Amino acid sequence: QVQLVESGGGLVKPGGSLRLSCAASGFTFSDYYMSWIRQAPGKGLEWVSYISSSSSYTNYADSVKGRFTISRDNAKNSLYLQMNSLRAEDTAVYYCARGNGVATVSDYWGQGTLVTVSS
């Protein structure tokens, strides 16, 4: 069965960096777009970024563009999110999700990893 397991979250100071990982299994990872979506405590869902199956295309929300970098390693069935210059408003649960044909349709989600940006 499809499984997505995020890791790498934690407490980081403003201005710091963190790298999230998402380990995928149960499907042919290299065939699918993948996304990162976040949810601040008590708030709604916010799309962060997506990457095409071959890494040829990436896209970012304006709120993270220039600070976050999405990448993937199809040989390792893994998705990554490098987060730099972190701000308090980046505090959220970060989910990785599989795209169903298009990046806007996320048919499987991981359980999320919490990132807290605080001094």
Partner 1 sequence: SSELTQDPAVSVALGQTVRITCQGDSLRSYYASWYQQKPGQAPVLVIYGKNNRPSGIPDRFSGSSSGNTASLTITGAQAEDEADYYCNSRDSSGNHHVVFGGGTKLTVL
The CB-of-55 to partner 1 minimum distance in angstroms stands at 16
Which range in 19-27, 72-80, 83-91, 110-118 contacts partner 1 by CB under 8 A?
Answer: 110-118
Q: Could you tell me the smallest distance in angstroms from the CB atom of residue 47 to partner 1?
A: 4
Segment near partner 1 (CB under 8 A), from 10-18, 66-74, 82-90, 105-113?
105-113
CB 72 within 8 A of CB 58: no
Minimum distance from residue 78 beta carbon to partner 1 (Å): 18
Residue 19 backbone dihedrals phi, psi, to 5 degrees? -120, 120
Pick the binder of partner 1 from 82, 112, 114, 116 (CB under 8 A). 112
Task: Select the span of 8-16, 23-31, 57-65, 82-90 touching partner 1 (CB under 8 A).
Answer: 57-65
Q: Are strands 34-39 and 92-100 parallel, antiparallel or unpaired?
A: antiparallel
Contacts of 113 (CB under 8 A, 6+ apart): 6, 7, 8, 9, 20, 93, 94
